[in-house]
Structure 1
Amino acid sequence: MIRIPLNIVIYLLLICTVSRTSAQTQEGRGKRVTLDYYYNNEHKKDEAGNLVRWHYIWDEQDNGGFSYWGKIFNKYGVQTDSLLEAPTKKNLSNTDIYIIVDPDTDKENPSPNYMNNKDAEAIYNWVKAGGVLVMLENDSLNAEFDHFNILAEKFGIHFNGDSRNRVQGRHFEQGAFMIPAGHEIFAGIKKVYIKELSSLTLKAPARAVYKDGEHVIMAVSRVGKGTVFAVGDPWFYNEYVNGKLLSADYENLQAADALTRWLIKQCKR
């Protein structure tokens, strides 16, 4: 039996770690992911009484933020950005991945910025040219659907505005979805948590990539050079990936990592 000196073993492990980290960083190097702050434009008062933006934003460390997901993008070399204005050809020109989450209702924002035909056309043309769009809606009580479906339906996707996987108290198993082995996006992921979400109705060119019985939960659509991914819930926010609420068998953090890598691979701009 050949004995390898400990210092050589440590050196080899370090080389492997550096190589793997470098390879991961290279995957998204030069890419930009932009999170919408226009359709999702919620504010609240902080402890000092100042009005501050919150809910599904990159730098929010609380349960409702996307700080963990932002760090995953950064890990792969992707620069995180935000868009506070309506999307146009010009302000989407430097973006590879555009994420729209939980569009406001008039209960969340007294003057919501609703999706309209002009904005939807700008986004559609950007996707057609190679952009990657992510639409993460919410359930019937927490998001706007009538206007947002103007955009979604351009890609063959309709958010039904229902509320599936309703969880009572801490019965987290009511929000569980089991991912089949060899899934095209979430390979190696066994179980995730998505509660109170909107299901989808699809027509070409959209197709289901995850169904719960006859109910479509996740969809992908391809238009021109671009790709669209849709789910009826913002299921990667901090509360469900930070390991504090859910038990370890729920793999939302790993699923966020898997989706991030998949999105990077779809970039054609």
Structure 2
Amino acid sequence: MNRFFVCALIILLKITPAAHAQIVTLDYYFNHETHKTKDGIKRFHYLWDDEQNTGFSKWGAMFKANGLILDTLDKAPTLANLRNSSVYIIVDPDTKKETANPNYIKANDAEQIALWVKAGGVLVLMANDSANVELPHFNTLAAKFGLHFNNDLPNHVIDDDHFKDGEAMYVDNAIFKSNPKIFLKDVCSISLNDPAAKAVFKSADGASVIAATVKYGKGVVFAVGDPWLYNEYVNGRLTAIYQNDIAAKELTLWLKKQTKK
């Protein structure tokens, strides 16, 4: 075997896995919160590499354990910017309280994202209670899929002695097959305005849809009224009866299954 062939084979082996791997991209554009630290102004909240309670490092590790590659997008989403992404996650778009000059989701952003989903993309929309998320522009995007995040507060939990108020009730177990007991605190509900949209689980009192899926073209959307799967609640500080960590693993597997190679 000559040297040229060996070198070419090594290069091929190095690039082939990445070329065929699914990429899960986390939005860093609509959510771009910062805070002051002793080292200066730093990004925080829902970052792949944040191992504190505020981060997504645990969920990110689950994606990597299942063969997906983590990526981020710190500019406006376009078909070109999303072309290599199999999964795109938008979490808790900024308000002016969180960021001096937030990047709101505009009509063109929503159109580009919808075209990407229609072509086979897997989109995850994670809102928050209305005091901590910019809902009007987020709903510009949600409306593309027959969804609407409401300005309300199901599953309000006043303190750690009232965890039960944050439980969720399953409507459909297609994603969460082991029926894990899950907790979502202070969320917003979701109105389903398209017959294709399906409730996944409801609030503790059963009155409000707080997670849903909808097929859109060749792709699919998973929407939930809370950031939910950040480190603090997977299972950073939950009591042992709650299984958000198991739910996170099952959602990860489901998202991977929806992707197009």
Q: Which moved more, 1:206-215 or 1:187-196?
A: 206-215
* Residue in structure 1 matching 2:245, options 253, 256, 260: 253
Deviations 1:193-238 (A, max 9, x none): 1010000111223221223423111111111100000001011000
Q: Does 1:166 align with 2:156?
A: yes
* Residue in structure 2 matching 1:92, options 79, 82, 85: 82
* Residue in structure 1 matching 2:225, options 218, 232, 239: 232
Q: Does 1:56 align with 2:46?
A: yes
Task: Compute the displacement of 1:178 (Å).
Answer: 4.0
Q: Does 1:142 align with 2:132?
A: yes
Query: What is the correspondence of 1:30-179 to structure 2 with a 5 Å cutoff?
Result: 30-48=21-39, 50-170=40-160, 171-179=162-170
1:191 aligned residue: 181
Q: Does 1:267 align with 2:259?
A: yes
Q: Which moved more, 1:140-149 or 1:166-175?
A: 166-175
Deviations 1:38-66 (A, max 9, x none): 00011112222x21111011001111100
Distance in 2 (alpha carbons) for counterparts of 1:161 and 1:253: 27
Moved over 4 A (4+): none
Unmatched runs of 5 consecutive residues or more in structure 1: 1-25
Task: Compute the displacement of 1:189 (Å).
Answer: 2.8
Distance in 1 (alpha carbons) for counterparts of 2:67 and 2:165: 36
Distance in 2 (alpha carbons) for counterparts of 1:105 and 1:135: 16
Task: Compute the displacement of 1:32 (Å).
Answer: 0.3
Identity score, percent: 52
Q: What is the TM-score with the length of structure 1 in the denominator?
A: 0.86
2:207 aligned residue: 214
* Contact 1:225 1:268 survives alignment (8 Å): no
* Contact 1:68 1:242 survives alignment (8 Å): no
SS at match of 1:234: coil
- RMSD of aligned Cα (Å): 1.5
Q: Which letter maps to 1:232? A: G
* Residue in structure 2 matching 1:223, options 204, 212, 216: 216
Unmatched runs of 5 consecutive residues or more in structure 2: 1-16
Deviations 1:223-267 (A, max 9, x none): 110000000101100001144x11121000110000000000011
Q: Which letter maps to 1:231? A: V
Distance in 2 (alpha carbons) for counterparts of 1:162 and 1:35: 26
* Contact 1:179 1:190 survives alignment (8 Å): no
Q: What is the TM-score with the length of structure 2 in the denominator?
A: 0.88
